[in-house]
Amino acid sequence: MNKLYRVREFAELAGVTVRALHHYDRLGLLKPSRTQAGYRLYYLRDLERLEQIVALKFLGMPLKHIRMMFHRGTNGMSESLRMQRRVLEEKRRLLDSAIRAIEEAEKATVPGNRPDSAILKKIIEVIEMQDNMDWSKKYYSEEAQAKVEERKKLWSPENQERWTKEWTDLFRDVEAALGEDPASAKAQALAARWKKLVEGFTGGDPQITAGLGKMYQDRANWPANMQQRTEPFSNKKVWEFIQKAFATGKGTN
């Protein structure tokens, strides 16, 4: 008993490669004894250590951490594990979004069998939608977030496209009407269109509307690409005009 193993044998015993054992040796994770000639010699008790290494590696721990844990005794294990779990869960979240993005794209692509380039667009849309959802979360209350999730289901890419177009058109029309009286019928009609589009997103929910307001106030801190994307809608005069139209509209209504 107390058999001695040479690398190959020991590696197969544990289900790892010889190179890995070399590696762990160099990193100081598992240092076997040696023969005169320098051959590595492992004991069975080394197998336990190796199994621990493999296990922690399976959990995604970097070898450096593993070595530190062995070095400082196994204290703090449960602490490290909690941290590692959070890391893994975060990775899983990202993986899930990626998989969902592909699924959505495939789903939207199969029927028409459109040119592949369209798939890319679709994927970018999906990812950006997820990103935006993620990032805009902080402007909504907990309750509002749930409601936004609900409304999100109605957001097919076709709808999104139509919605973008309607906003663009409306904005252009308002810009053209900046000279008019905000109380005029024309201005009031534009205000009505505006209100309808907003409600198309908020569903008339005050909590969502409030979140939207906060988001707009904070637009200086939006990510660069969002600022880019909304840049066509940054004409302050348009917003002021609509404000006035609403105000007079309310007054006379």
Partner DNA sequence: CCTTGACTCTAACGTTACGTCAGAGTTGAA
Partner DNA sequence: TTCAACTCTGACGTAACGTTAGAGTCAAGG
Binding region for its own copies (CB under 8 A): 12-15, 51-52, 55-56, 58-60, 73-78, 81-82, 84-85, 88-89, 91-92, 95-99, 101-103, 105-106, 109, 115-117, 119-120, 123-124, 127, 223-225, 228
Nearest alpha carbon to residue 208 among 154, 136, 141: 141
Q: Is 7 in the site for DNA (CB under 7 A)?
A: yes
Of residues 20, 105, 126, 212, which one binds DNA by CB under 7 A?
20
Mutual angle of helices 63-71 and 77-109, in 10-degree steps: 160
| Minimum distance of DNA from residue 91's CB (angstroms) | 14
> For the window 47-86, what string marks contact with DNA as x by the rule CB under 7 A?
----------x---xxxx----------------------
Token digits of residue 15: 């289900």
Q: Is 234 in the site for DNA (CB under 7 A)?
A: no
Looking at residue 41, what DSSP letter applies?
A: E
52 contact choice in DNA, its own copies, none (CB below 5 to 8 Å, kind-dependent): its own copies
- The smaller minimum CB distance to DNA, of residues 23 and 137, is found at 23
| Minimum distance of its own copies from residue 129's CB (angstroms) | 12
Cβ neighbours of 159 (radius 10 Å): 11
| Minimum distance of DNA from residue 7's CB (angstroms) | 4
Amino acid residing at 82: R
Contact 101, 127 (CB under 8 A): yes
Residue tagged 């409304």 (tokens)? 151
| Minimum distance of DNA from residue 100's CB (angstroms) | 21
DSSP string covering 110-151, please?
TTTT--HHHHHHHHHHHHHHHHHHHHHGGGS-HHHHHHHHHH
Cβ neighbours of 90 (radius 10 Å): 10
Residue tagged 């979004």 (tokens)? 97
Computed over its alpha carbons, how large is the radius of gyration of the chain? 30
111 contact choice in DNA, its own copies, none (CB below 5 to 8 Å, kind-dependent): none
CA–CA distance, 235 with 172 (Å, rounded to integer) = 10
198 contact choice in its own copies, DNA, none (CB below 5 to 8 Å, kind-dependent): none
- The smaller minimum CB distance to its own copies, of residues 68 and 102, is found at 102
Please give the residue ranges that form the binding site for DNA (CB under 7 A). Answer: 6-9, 17-20, 22-23, 35-40, 57, 61-64
